[in-house]
Protein backbone atom coordinates (compact mmCIF):
# COMPACT_ATOMS: atom_id res chain seq x y z
CA UNK A 1 0.00 0.00 0.00
CA UNK A 2 1.63 3.20 -1.21
CA UNK A 3 0.46 6.63 -0.04
CA UNK A 4 1.57 9.93 -1.56
CA UNK A 5 1.20 12.99 0.64
CA UNK A 6 1.46 16.33 -1.14
CA UNK A 7 1.52 19.65 0.66
CA UNK A 8 0.37 22.34 -1.78
CA UNK A 9 0.63 24.98 0.92
CA UNK A 10 3.93 26.87 1.16
CA UNK A 11 4.31 26.71 4.94
CA UNK A 12 6.07 23.49 5.83
CA UNK A 13 4.93 23.57 9.44
CA UNK A 14 1.61 25.31 8.87
CA UNK A 15 -1.94 24.18 9.47
CA UNK A 16 -2.20 22.27 6.21
CA UNK A 17 1.10 20.47 6.84
CA UNK A 18 -0.07 19.49 10.33
CA UNK A 19 -3.32 18.04 8.95
CA UNK A 20 -1.39 16.14 6.28
CA UNK A 21 1.12 14.80 8.80
CA UNK A 22 -1.73 13.55 10.99
CA UNK A 23 -3.35 11.89 7.95
CA UNK A 24 0.03 10.39 7.02
CA UNK A 25 0.33 8.93 10.55
CA UNK A 26 -3.11 7.36 10.12
CA UNK A 27 -2.03 5.83 6.81
CA UNK A 28 1.21 4.53 8.33
CA UNK A 29 -0.71 2.95 11.21
CA UNK A 30 -2.90 1.23 8.62
CA UNK A 31 0.29 -0.35 7.26
CA UNK A 32 0.98 1.98 4.34
CA UNK A 33 4.31 3.11 3.00
CA UNK A 34 4.12 6.92 2.99
CA UNK A 35 6.00 9.47 0.91
CA UNK A 36 5.57 13.10 2.02
CA UNK A 37 6.41 15.94 -0.38
CA UNK A 38 6.27 19.71 0.03
CA UNK A 39 5.33 20.88 -3.46
CA UNK A 40 6.84 24.32 -2.83
CA UNK A 41 10.28 22.68 -2.54
CA UNK A 42 10.02 21.50 -6.14
CA UNK A 43 10.63 23.40 -9.35
CA UNK A 44 7.74 23.07 -11.78
CA UNK A 45 5.04 24.93 -13.64
CA UNK A 46 1.54 24.15 -14.81
CA UNK A 47 0.93 22.41 -18.12
CA UNK A 48 3.16 23.77 -20.92
CA UNK A 49 0.86 22.50 -23.67
CA UNK A 50 3.71 20.49 -25.25
CA UNK A 51 1.07 17.93 -26.38
CA UNK A 52 3.52 15.04 -26.02
CA UNK A 53 1.01 13.19 -23.82
CA UNK A 54 -1.42 13.19 -26.80
CA UNK A 55 1.09 11.85 -29.36
CA UNK A 56 0.07 8.64 -31.16
CA UNK A 57 1.59 5.50 -29.67
CA UNK A 58 2.93 7.04 -26.48
CA UNK A 59 2.29 5.74 -22.97
CA UNK A 60 -0.79 7.42 -21.47
CA UNK A 61 -1.10 9.01 -18.02
CA UNK A 62 2.45 10.24 -18.18
CA UNK A 63 3.54 13.86 -18.31
CA UNK A 64 6.42 14.18 -20.77
CA UNK A 65 7.55 17.65 -19.65
CA UNK A 66 10.83 17.19 -17.79
CA UNK A 67 10.82 18.93 -14.42
CA UNK A 68 10.41 18.02 -10.76
CA UNK A 69 6.68 17.33 -11.09
CA UNK A 70 6.70 14.64 -13.80
CA UNK A 71 7.99 11.85 -11.50
CA UNK A 72 5.45 12.89 -8.85
CA UNK A 73 2.63 12.55 -11.40
CA UNK A 74 3.84 9.03 -12.21
CA UNK A 75 3.88 8.23 -8.49
CA UNK A 76 0.32 9.51 -8.02
CA UNK A 77 -0.98 7.26 -10.79
CA UNK A 78 0.81 4.29 -9.19
CA UNK A 79 -0.26 5.07 -5.61
CA UNK A 80 -3.13 3.55 -3.65
CA UNK A 81 -3.97 6.75 -1.79
CA UNK A 82 -3.28 10.44 -2.37
CA UNK A 83 -3.45 12.80 0.59
CA UNK A 84 -3.28 16.36 -0.67
CA UNK A 85 -3.65 19.61 1.21
CA UNK A 86 -3.94 23.27 0.37
CA UNK A 87 -4.54 26.48 2.24
CA UNK A 88 -7.34 28.63 0.82
CA UNK A 89 -5.78 31.59 -0.95
CA UNK A 90 -8.22 34.28 -2.11
CA UNK A 91 -11.11 31.87 -2.09
CA UNK A 92 -9.30 29.16 -4.06
CA UNK A 93 -6.62 26.50 -3.65
CA UNK A 94 -3.02 27.75 -4.00
CA UNK A 95 -1.40 28.24 -7.40
CA UNK A 96 0.81 25.18 -6.78
CA UNK A 97 -2.31 23.07 -6.35
CA UNK A 98 -3.67 24.25 -9.70
CA UNK A 99 -0.34 23.68 -11.45
CA UNK A 100 -0.31 20.09 -10.24
CA UNK A 101 -3.96 19.44 -11.15
CA UNK A 102 -3.51 20.88 -14.64
CA UNK A 103 -0.66 18.47 -15.36
CA UNK A 104 -2.25 15.44 -13.67
CA UNK A 105 -5.61 15.92 -15.33
CA UNK A 106 -4.42 16.80 -18.83
CA UNK A 107 -2.15 13.80 -19.28
CA UNK A 108 -4.98 11.41 -18.40
CA UNK A 109 -7.58 13.12 -20.58
CA UNK A 110 -8.33 11.65 -24.00
CA UNK A 111 -8.63 14.22 -26.76
CA UNK A 112 -10.32 11.56 -28.92
CA UNK A 113 -13.50 11.44 -26.85
CA UNK A 114 -12.76 13.30 -23.56
CA UNK A 115 -12.75 10.02 -21.64
CA UNK A 116 -10.31 9.27 -18.85
CA UNK A 117 -7.25 7.19 -19.81
CA UNK A 118 -6.64 6.37 -16.15
CA UNK A 119 -8.28 3.06 -15.22
CA UNK A 120 -6.77 2.59 -11.76
CA UNK A 121 -8.10 3.44 -8.33
CA UNK A 122 -6.44 5.99 -6.06
CA UNK A 123 -8.41 7.07 -3.00
CA UNK A 124 -8.01 10.76 -2.23
CA UNK A 125 -8.15 12.90 0.89
CA UNK A 126 -8.29 16.62 0.11
CA UNK A 127 -7.54 18.80 3.14
CA UNK A 128 -8.21 22.53 2.98
CA UNK A 129 -7.33 24.95 5.75
CA UNK A 130 -8.61 28.50 5.98
CA UNK A 131 -9.21 31.60 8.06
CA UNK A 132 -12.88 31.42 7.27
CA UNK A 133 -15.36 30.12 9.80
CA UNK A 134 -17.56 27.11 9.04
CA UNK A 135 -20.50 29.45 8.31
CA UNK A 136 -18.45 31.54 5.88
CA UNK A 137 -17.08 28.41 4.19
CA UNK A 138 -20.53 26.94 3.75
CA UNK A 139 -21.91 30.15 2.30
CA UNK A 140 -19.05 31.11 -0.02
CA UNK A 141 -16.54 28.30 -0.54
CA UNK A 142 -18.21 24.92 -0.06
CA UNK A 143 -19.76 24.54 -3.53
CA UNK A 144 -16.47 25.50 -5.21
CA UNK A 145 -14.35 23.16 -3.10
CA UNK A 146 -16.76 20.30 -3.67
CA UNK A 147 -16.12 20.87 -7.38
CA UNK A 148 -12.34 20.68 -6.76
CA UNK A 149 -12.89 17.45 -4.84
CA UNK A 150 -15.06 16.08 -7.65
CA UNK A 151 -12.28 16.78 -10.13
CA UNK A 152 -10.15 14.28 -8.18
CA UNK A 153 -12.64 11.52 -8.96
CA UNK A 154 -10.62 11.20 -12.18
CA UNK A 155 -8.33 9.01 -10.04
CA UNK A 156 -11.09 6.41 -9.85
CA UNK A 157 -11.28 6.10 -6.06
CA UNK A 158 -13.19 7.48 -3.12
CA UNK A 159 -12.64 11.20 -2.48
CA UNK A 160 -12.98 12.76 0.96
CA UNK A 161 -12.93 16.56 1.28
CA UNK A 162 -11.94 17.82 4.75
CA UNK A 163 -12.32 21.55 5.45
CA UNK A 164 -10.48 22.91 8.50
CA UNK A 165 -11.88 26.29 9.57
CA UNK A 166 -10.73 29.37 11.42
CA UNK A 167 -7.08 28.38 11.67
CA UNK A 168 -4.32 30.23 13.48
CA UNK A 169 -2.38 32.17 10.84
CA UNK A 170 0.34 33.64 13.09
CA UNK A 171 1.30 32.83 16.66
CA UNK A 172 1.25 36.45 17.89
CA UNK A 173 -1.44 38.62 16.26
CA UNK A 174 -0.30 41.70 18.23
CA UNK A 175 2.77 41.97 15.98
CA UNK A 176 0.73 42.32 12.77
CA UNK A 177 -1.86 44.59 11.20
CA UNK A 178 -4.58 41.96 11.33
CA UNK A 179 -7.32 43.79 13.17
CA UNK A 180 -10.10 41.86 11.49
CA UNK A 181 -9.10 38.85 13.60
CA UNK A 182 -9.60 38.64 17.32
CA UNK A 183 -6.56 36.83 18.74
CA UNK A 184 -8.31 35.46 21.83
CA UNK A 185 -11.10 33.98 19.68
CA UNK A 186 -8.62 32.51 17.19
CA UNK A 187 -6.60 30.91 20.00
CA UNK A 188 -9.70 29.48 21.61
CA UNK A 189 -10.78 27.84 18.34
CA UNK A 190 -7.23 26.60 17.82
CA UNK A 191 -7.13 24.97 21.25
CA UNK A 192 -10.64 23.58 21.07
CA UNK A 193 -11.10 22.56 17.42
CA UNK A 194 -7.69 22.01 15.87
CA UNK A 195 -6.86 18.88 17.93
CA UNK A 196 -10.17 17.42 16.70
CA UNK A 197 -9.23 18.32 13.13
CA UNK A 198 -5.95 16.46 13.57
CA UNK A 199 -7.77 13.43 14.94
CA UNK A 200 -10.20 13.53 12.01
CA UNK A 201 -7.31 13.84 9.56
CA UNK A 202 -5.63 10.83 11.18
CA UNK A 203 -8.84 8.81 10.81
CA UNK A 204 -9.26 9.83 7.17
CA UNK A 205 -5.67 8.77 6.39
CA UNK A 206 -6.34 5.42 8.04
CA UNK A 207 -9.77 4.90 6.46
CA UNK A 208 -8.68 5.72 2.92
CA UNK A 209 -6.07 2.98 3.20
CA UNK A 210 -8.56 0.53 4.63
CA UNK A 211 -11.08 1.24 1.82
CA UNK A 212 -8.38 0.19 -0.62
CA UNK A 213 -8.55 -3.35 0.72
CA UNK A 214 -12.32 -3.58 0.08
Ligand X SMILES: Cc1cc2nc3c(=O)[nH]c(=O)nc-3n(C[C@H](O)[C@H](O)[C@H](O)COP(=O)(O)O)c2cc1C
Would you tell me which residues interact with ligand X (CB under 6 A)?
9, 11, 14-17, 87-91, 129-132, 167, 169
Closer to ligand X by CB, 78 or 185: give it: 185
The SS3 call for residue 196 is helix
Q: Among residues 30 and 84, whose Cβ is nearest to ligand X?
A: 84
Task: Tell how far CA 177 is from the center of its chain.
Answer: 29
Residue nearest to ligand X (CB): 14
Q: How far apart are CA 128 and CA 146, in angstroms?
A: 11
Report d(CA 177, CA 153) in Å as an integer. 40
Residue 140 CB, nearest approach to ligand X (Å): 9
* Comparison of 129 and 206: residue with beta carbon closer to ligand X: 129
Q: Can you give 9-57 as a three-state secondary structure string?
A: CCCCCCHHHHHHHHHHHHHHHCCCEEEEEEHHHCCCCCCCCCCHHHCCC
Smallest distance, ligand X to C-beta of residue 25, A: 17
Minimum distance of ligand X from residue 56's CB (angstroms): 42
Q: How far is the CB of 37 from ligand X (least distance, A)?
A: 15
Indicate the residue among 43 and 180 with the shorter CB distance to ligand X: 180
CB 37: neighbour CB atoms within 10 A?
A: 16
CB of 157 to ligand X, least distance (A): 24
- Cα pseudo-dihedral 179, 181, 186, 189, rounded to 10: 160
Provide the 8-state DSSP code for 137.
I
Q: Which is nearer to ligand X, 72 or 168 (CB)?
A: 168
Amino acid sequence: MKVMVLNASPRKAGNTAKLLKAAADGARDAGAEVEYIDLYDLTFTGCRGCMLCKRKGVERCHCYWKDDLSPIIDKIFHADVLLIGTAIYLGRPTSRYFELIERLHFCSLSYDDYSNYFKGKVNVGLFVSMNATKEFYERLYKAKFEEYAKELEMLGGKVILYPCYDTLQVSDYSKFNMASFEESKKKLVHEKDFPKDLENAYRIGQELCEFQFV
